[in-house]
Chains A and B, each alone.
Chain A
Amino acid sequence: MIQHWTFGQKISAGFAAIVSLTILVGVVTVYALRSVVESKDRIITVNAQSLVDAERLNGRRDEKAAAFRGFLLTGEERYLEDLRESRRDIAAILERLKRNAATAEGQRLAQDIERAEAEHQGVIERVIALRRSSASIESVGRAFDDQVGPVRTRLNSGIDSFVAREARQLEEAKQTGTDSASSAIALVVGMVAAAVLLAAALAFVLARTLGRQIGTAVGHVQSSSSELQATANQQATGAKEQATAMAEINTTISELLATSRQIAESAQRVAQIAEQTVGAARSGESTVEQAHESIAGIRRQVDLIVGHMLELGKKSQQIGAVLDIVSELAEQTNILAINATIEAAGAGDAGKRFAVVADEIRELADRVAGSTKEIRGLIDDVRSAVNTTVMATETGSKAVDTGTAQFGEVTTAFKQIAGLVTATTEAAREIELSTKQQASGVEQVNLAIANVAQTTRETEVSAGQTLDTVSQLASLSKDLLRLVQPQAAMA
Chain B
Amino acid sequence: MRARSAADLRAAFDRAFSEPPRAQRGPSIDLLAVRLRGAPFALPLSGVSGLFADRPLTRLPTAAPDFLGLASSRGIVVPVYDLGALLGYPVEGAPRWLIVAASTAVGLAFDAFDGALRLPQDAITPQGPRERTHMHVRDLVRPSAADAPLRPLIDLDSVITAVRERARQDAVSSPRE
Q: Chain A interface (Cβ within 8 Å of chain B)?
A: 331-332, 334-335, 337-339, 341-342, 345, 356-357, 359-360, 362-364, 366-371, 373-375, 378
Contact = CB atoms under 8 A, between A and B. Distances in A.
B49 A342 contact: yes
B32 A338 contact: yes
B12 A364 contact: yes
A341 B49 contact: no
A345 B46 contact: yes
Q: Which 4 A-B pairs have the closest CB atoms?
A: A360-B16, A338-B51, A364-B13, A374-B3
Contacts of A337: 116
Interface string B5-28: 000010011001100010000000
A342 B50 contact: yes
Nearest to A357: B17
B166 to A, nearest CB: 27
B123 interface: no
B130 interface: no
B51 A375 contact: no
Contact of B51 (A339, A357, A373, A378): A339
B3 A360 contact: no
A341 B9 contact: no
Nearest to A331: B53
B53 A371 contact: no
Contacts of B45: 338, 341-342, 345
Given A338-B45, A360-B17, A368-B9, 16 more contacts: A334-B116, A335-B51, A338-B32, A338-B116, A341-B116, A342-B45, A342-B50, A356-B21, A357-B17, A362-B116, A366-B115, A367-B12, A371-B4, A374-B1, A374-B3, A375-B3
Nearest to B15: A360
Nearest to B17: A360
Contact of B13 (A331, A332, A360): A360
Interface majority SS (helix, strand, loop, mixed), chain A = helix
Contact of B9 (A359, A371, A374): A371
B48 interface: yes
A230 B30 CA distance: 121
Contacts of B9: 364, 367-368, 371
A332 B12 CA distance: 20
17 contacts: A334-B115, A334-B116, A335-B51, A335-B53, A338-B32, A338-B116, A339-B50, A341-B45, A342-B102, A360-B17, A364-B13, A367-B4, A368-B9, A371-B3, A371-B4, A373-B1, A375-B3
A13 B115 CA distance: 149
B66 to A, nearest CB: 24
B89 interface: no
Contacts of A368: 9
Interface string B109-151: 0000001101000000000000000000000000000000000
Contacts of B52: 335
A334 B114 CA distance: 11
B72 to A, nearest CB: 15
Contacts of A373: 1
A339 B30 CA distance: 12
B115 to A, nearest CB: 6
A378 B45 CA distance: 33
A346 to B, nearest CB: 8
A356 B16 CA distance: 9
Contacts of B12: 364, 367
A371 B13 CA distance: 15
Contacts of B50: 339, 342
Nearest to B97: A335
Nearest to A328: B53
Contacts of A342: 45, 48-51, 102
Contacts of B4: 367, 371
A364 B48 CA distance: 22
Contacts of B21: 356
A364 B13 CA distance: 7
A471 B103 CA distance: 137
Contacts of B17: 357, 360
A337 B116 CA distance: 10
Contacts of A374: 1, 3
A76 B128 CA distance: 232
B53 A341 contact: no
Interface string B25-69: 000001010000000000001101111110000000000000000
Contacts of B53: 331-332, 335
Nearest to B74: A339
Contacts of A341: 30, 45, 116
A370 B51 contact: no
A356 B17 CA distance: 9
Contacts of A360: 13, 16-17
Nearest to A378: B3
Nearest to A375: B3
